[in-house]
Structure 1
């Protein structure tokens, strides 16, 4: 599958992977801080943004991981092992690539997949479905309704600690994505089992917003069961999509996370 993407900047390659119902433009607020130091690649995951949807298959997460793995190889210069970072679903995918030893480092922002039990996973999917129900109820009136802060800010509060920082145009696009995204329907049965860790020396950074209402910060305690080498950061006053809440802080975390582990590819 050909995944739409953008490349900007110079330096070590850093591939940024968005979360469910989001798109590659989620990283735009960070580009000015990152591109002087990194060759930044932003990509639309299958079924998001401008990318085509996945074909129906038995294992959605495995399909996503294989598509992203192939994309990473295709955009990385020969002889280089890239860095990868992601938010939510993109965080899980980034960690899965690190577990497989395919990247120089991984930075995950409130990554999916560290549910304490099935009820915890169900709560997250239920939250998405409630928000989708609201977006669908607004229907063609959504663009008009979202112009009002009294509607827009509460609608975004589950994802952002600072919804006032979300541009109106982005809120409209994301609301539409929420109504149509197929992964919301499949999330209840999705398997977030990580691949066996083949290289525990790959540097891993996990940053979690203390005000995350989608994937609560208590899930961060489970990270070191899989990645004992992980550096864990808890971010006060930050929500589920931290790139919007505090672009400067997240840029600093991504630059730090992608400063470790640089090495040439053995291929």
Structure 2
């Protein structure tokens, strides 16, 4: 059964779907959205239970099967088939799963989940839970923190290399999105044990911020071992959500991946 997802769409050309991470919202892609819309039919989506999208029914699981099936159903609802997909963190893992299932033309995964080392798994869980807990502060406190330059840097320091680039409204909006999302706990329960071990036959890039604190850059070595067929790229001076830290670089990495798909028939 289709669970309709809220999305923002702009541009024309090949469809390109942008998928955010756990606790985030489609506005995470704002720094690159307009740039990408110059070349693609861009759709930034709120995953079920996050942003403005409704949660799954209580009996439904927040696992990869449901995420991929629901996105595939929404692709059809939006009138697209096998789009290019780009994901960050949880969204990166979903993008890889979509590619492995033949539901995407190309995959760009930015610091994707699913390549945990033992210590990294604990680090990731602790930081994400801490972010969730602090987001439960009263709205008045969250608003006060977002209005302070120091507060914005503190709130975003685990996610971005340059949290100072966010406005007070953006930080407050992200905090409310994390506070009010309905899918966090049900997703993280599944995510703690999740491991990506599939094979991809579509052009795939895995790009990792070298200053990522949530999913440390060392995890990229595990990704390289499991997916030697993918292109692996370092994002210098970028944190876990690199779109704000270097939007031009992120857009360029995406374009290089989609170009590889366009060149594939000629290469064959």
Is the TM-score greater than 0.5?
yes
Shift of 1:16: 0.7
What residue is the counterpart of 2:88 in the other structure?
87
1:129 shift after superposition: 1.6
1:98 corresponds to 2:99 = yes
| Equivalent residues of 2:50, 2:182 under 8 A apart | no
- Please say if 1:171 is aligned against 2:186: no
Q: What are the equivalent positions in structure 2 for 1:139-154 lying under 5 Å apart?
A: 139-154=139-154
**3-state SS, counterpart of residue 228 of structure 1:** coil
Which structure 2 residues correspond to residues 36-55 of structure 1 after superposition, within 5 A? 36-55=38-57
Name the residue aligned to 1:115: 116
Corresponding position of 1:227 = 227
Kindly tell me: are residues 189 and 32 of structure 1, through their superposed partners in 2, closer, same or farther at Cα, counting changes over 3 Å? closer
**Other-structure match for 1:131:** 131
> Is there any run of 5+ residues in structure 1 with no aligned partner, and where?
none
TM-score by length of 1: 0.89
Name the count of aligned residue pairs.
259
Give the equivalent residue in structure 2 for 1:11: 13
- Alpha-carbon shift at residue 123 of structure 1 (Å): 2.3
Contact 1:129 1:184 in 2 (8 A): no
Separation in 2, partners of 1:122, 1:139: 29
Displacement of 1:121 in angstroms is 2.2
- Paired with 1:195 and 1:181, the residues of 2 have a C-alpha distance of 28
SS at match of 1:6: strand
Once superposed, what is the RMSD of the aligned Cα atoms? 2.1
> 2:34 maps to which residue?
32
In structure 2, what is the equivalent of residue 64 of structure 1?
Answer: 67
5+ unaligned residues in a row in structure 2: which ranges? none
Cα separation, 2, equivalents of 1:115 and 1:76 = 35
Residue 254 of structure 1, CA deviation: 1.1
Q: Distance in 2 between matches of 1:91 and 1:72?
A: 17
